[in-house]
Each structure stands twice: as structure tokens, then as C-alpha cells.
Amino acid sequence: MKNEPTKSSGIPVIIIILVLVGVVVGAWFLYNGSKGAGNKTVSPTPGTSQTKPPATVNPNAPQGATPPNVLGEPAAPLTLEEFADFQCSACASAHPVMKEVRSIYTNKQIRVIFRNYPLPMHDKSYDAAVAAEAAGLQGKFWPMQGQLFSNQQTWSTAPNYRELWNGYAEKIGLDMAKFQSDVAGIAAKSRVDQDIARAKGMGVGSTPTIYLNGQSIPYTEVNVPAMRRIIDAELQKTAGQQQSAPANVGK
């Protein structure tokens, strides 16, 4: 079979080149436009939904793990309570934001509570939460939390994820025999279960969900500039309340 000669044999090549150039240039502009946006804009694929968290904390919700995983002084006027899943990529993305926010304010200004809320669609998140709580039983919850979030991409798809977690535990200086015993034991699991009960009692439907003094912070505001704005406003509000009511001491 012969190829039919065409009068305009250059036209298809021109079309192909034009499409290629159009795709590359269009993609380049879109890519740079997204990167240069600066603000942390959530852009889910159409068809996914984001569950809105309850606007305020339910005072009748279970207490959660007691004592909670907390940084900051009990008398601090502001409390940031975060519900997160160690295998949730948005939570890993929020982790450096929360870490930076913690570093900006003093322990006297703000206390930060982390609540485990492993979601059912993540096959390793419950075990990851237990591992973090096991580290917490040796006083190293926050370093282990950092290791799990920072290395989430690595362990969440690795068949040898438990070996990786052991590596993180060694890195942060845990007693490995105790760590492995606590991972298998009841105490760490119980703390995770208590946090889950609190999340469910509060109607938390997605992770990360963050509350500041009982008011939820929209995920679109979970970036350092927006959180600073929100926290500063709340600090001013609580300072104003304390000034106007000098008799309210030591809440």
C-alpha cells in the first residue's frame, strides 16, 4: 500500500508543532502562575469535597488523651488545638506552618495541643499515631511527630514502614526496647483512641482541623501570615478583656 501524496504535506507538521508550542507555553504560564501565587490556595480537583469543621468546639465532647500532647503554659490565653492524621498530606503540609507559628509566640502567649485523628482510608495512620504516642511515653512525642510528618512521603508508601519508624525513634534517642513494647502495648493505643473519641464527639470531619480558642480556622487560612493575623487579633482581644476585667485573674 502506498502512502497517498498530499499537496499540503507540510500542514500536518505545522499543526503538530503549533499544538506542541501551545501546550508547552500554556503549561509554562499556568505552572508559573500557580507557583507565583504566594498564598496557600487550596485547589482540589473538581468533584472532591472538603468537609467544613464545626465552627466551635463542642464543650460536651470527650476530653481526649489526658494529659494532651501540649506545648505552652496552662495559663496561656490562647490554645491552638490541631486534629491531624499522620498519613494525610495536607496535615504534613500544615506541619511546618504550625511549627513556625509555635516559634513566633511564647509559651506564655499560646499553647498548642496535638490530637491524633487517623482517618479510616489511610492504612498506616493509626499505627503511626500509636508510634508517636509511644515516643510520647518517653517524653519525645513532638520530635517523633516531626519525624513522621517530615518523612511522610517516604514511609507512607514503603512496605518496610515500621523499620523506618524504628529508625526515626533511634534518631530521636528513644529507648528502643521500651518504644517497641509501648507500640505493642495498650497505653499508647488508648491515648490515640481517646483523641479519636474527642474528634468524633466534636464532629471533626477532616484533617487537619485546627481550633484557636475553640473557633475553627479554615484550612485556607492555615498559612503563617494568615495565622499570625488571626492569633494577633485574638491576643489583642484577650488582652483587652483582661484589661477591662482586672478582677479575672488566673483563669
Contact residues toward another protein (CB under 8 A) are 1-6, 8-9, 11-12, 15-16, 19-20, 23, 26-27, 30-31, 34-35, 40-51, 85, 88-93, 119-122, 157, 205-209, 219
At position 62, the amino acid (one-letter code) is P
CA–CA dist 86, 116 (Å, integer): 8
Residue 117 and residue 87 in contact, taking contact as beta carbons nearer than 8 Å: no
∠ CA(97), CA(94), CA(196), 5° rounding? 130
CA dihedral 9, 11, 13, 19 (to 10 degrees): -160
Please, which residue, 25 or 184, has the CB nearer to another protein? 25
Using alpha carbons, select from 110, 58, 108, 112 the residue that is nearest to residue 84.
Answer: 112
Please, which residue, 6 or 243, has the CB nearer to another protein? 6
Please, which residue, 31 or 239, has the CB nearer to another protein? 31
Q: How far is the CB of 186 from another protein (least distance, A)?
A: 25
Residue 106 and residue 71 in contact, taking contact as beta carbons nearer than 8 Å: no
Q: How far is the CB of 26 from another protein (least distance, A)?
A: 8
Residue 206 and residue 53 in contact, taking contact as beta carbons nearer than 8 Å: yes
Phi first, then psi: give them for residue 110, nearest 5 degrees. Answer: -145, 140
Please, which residue, 57 or 137, has the CB nearer to another protein? 57
Please, which residue, 68 or 208, has the CB nearer to another protein? 208
Residue 193 and residue 117 in contact, taking contact as beta carbons nearer than 8 Å: no
β-bridge pairing 110-116 and 78-84: parallel
Please, which residue, 2 or 251, has the CB nearer to another protein? 2
